[in-house]
Homo-oligomer: A and B are copies of this chain.
Amino acid sequence: MTLGVVLQVRDGALRVLLWERARAPDIGRWALPGGVLAPGETLEGSIRRHLSAKVDVREVAHLEQLATTADPGRAPGEWEVATAYLGLVPLGVDPGVPADTAWHPVDALPPMAFAHGPLVLAGRDRLRAKLSYSNVGFALAPATFTLAELREVYVAALGHEVSATNLKRVLLRRGVLTPTGRHRSPGPGGGRPAELFRFRRRSLEITDQFAALRPPD
């Protein structure tokens, strides 16, 4: 089967899309969306198909394979191979979700069904690592944004403070961000109008491939 760890920043926290089981086993506990793999189906095709029952799949800006498990003992007599995907949804979009489905903070997960909890944490950790050496931010940020907004996304996803000043410089130097030339007018309290930026490319790119041991010139 395939499972989806779909993450989004909402209300200042990194959240995961979960689904409350109404039937045994693990009734009342929360599970990752997903389902069986149809014969002849591609893994990515399968997870896209199952996710489309929960969210508008076009909202998923990035999707990558996370891990595969085949642990015995999920339930006695039950044993299944499950491939988990990591999906990222940009800030601000609100895909309507079914009534049994909700966004839970990854740092305060509800009681989880099966062994889905560790998969969520693996997805979070993968995201955090990639934020430092790639342009994955594009999949969490809206199309255009101010640096303050981008900073909030990074703070929520990384779980620690980030300086907008330095975030700007790092991402500009790496060529990940480009200014749009447009500005956003300030709120009621006043303030200088914020520059609007966008990600230069909206597909995954490694921007800092070799921290050390890089090839000689």
Contacts and interface: CB of A to CB of B under 8 A. Distances in A.
Nearest to A42: B70
Nearest to A174: B212
Given A132-B211, A154-B213, A158-B213, 20 more contacts: A37-B70, A37-B81, A39-B79, A40-B79, A41-B72, A43-B81, A65-B67, A68-B83, A70-B83, A81-B81, A81-B83, A131-B213, A132-B210, A132-B212, A133-B211, A158-B215, A160-B216, A163-B216, A167-B213, A170-B213
A165 interface: no
B161 A215 contact: yes
A71 interface: yes
Given A41-B72, A65-B68, A72-B40, A212 B208 contact: yes
A212 B70 CA distance: 35
17 contacts: A37-B70, A40-B72, A40-B79, A41-B70, A42-B70, A42-B71, A43-B68, A43-B70, A65-B67, A81-B83, A129-B209, A131-B213, A132-B211, A133-B211, A158-B215, A161-B215, A161-B216
Interface of A: 37, 39-43, 46, 65, 67-72, 79, 81, 83, 129, 131-133, 154, 158, 160-163, 167, 170, 208-216
Contacts of A41: 70, 72
**For chain A, what secondary structure do more than half of its interface residues adopt (helix, strand, loop), or is it mixed?**
loop
A210 B43 CA distance: 31
B70 A162 contact: no
B43 A160 contact: no
